Amino acid sequence: MKKIFLSLLLSLFVGFNIVAQGDTEQNYQNFPIVLTLQFHAFAMPFQSVLSNFSNVGIGIGTEVSMNGSHEWVQQLNLMWYRNRAIGNGVMLYTQAAWRPEVVSDAYGELKLGAGYLLSFRPAESYKQANGQWISAGRKGKGMLTIPLGVSMGYKGFSSDAFVSSFISYQFMLVRGYNASIPLVPETIVQVGTAIQSD
């Protein structure tokens, strides 16, 4: 099932780029719709990268240019991921991104930001009250997060659309996971497309 899903995703990625190619160069437009497929892991950066692919999520966002071009943007994203080991999460975050053009319409990207992560417990938990353990439920808690990411992608223009497909690797420091560990590392692999039509 995962192979079929990833094959479908790759074909959409390639298909959007073929449709978006054109000879007309246009100016960057603010507020494209950014759709992402997320793969989450509780890991140090570049450690256990394959473990990301067992925890799938989705995201939606947008961005606005800080200098009138595609090179400097401020992104705003909302994402959800499923993780059986540490619990599902919902994260709202913003990042400033720098996108130098590498070759033709291909670009690299560095981004840094801040966000709020609402992480739910993977199973029912208990707390001690008056010498007895009582259920605390599965509700989660909110935590501050600092995401740092690197990406590569391709931007294309046609007469009626702007499409930019990308792959991104994000390292996040999550503050407040529990009292004994003040900062917790998490990683996210993202595959996505930014779409804007005229």
Alpha-carbon gap, residue 70 to 27, rounded angstroms: 8
Contact 34, 194 (CB under 8 A): yes
Instruction: Give how far Cα 149 sits from Cα of 141, 167, 198, Å.
Output: 24, 10, 29
Q: Which fold has domain 30-123+135-197?
A: Porin (2.40.160)
Reading phi first (left if > 0) and then psi (alpha if -120 to 50, else beta), residue 104 is in left
Q: Where along the chain do its domains lie?
A: 30-123+135-197
Instruction: Give how far Cα 124 sits from Cα of 114, 127, 160, Å.
Output: 29, 10, 50
Q: Summarize pLDDT for 65-82 with one digit per residue, the tens.
A: 998 888 999 999 999 999
Q: Summarize pLDDT for 131-167 with one digit per residue, the tens.
A: 888 887 768 889 999 999 999 999 887 777 888 999 9
pTM assigned to the model = 0.79
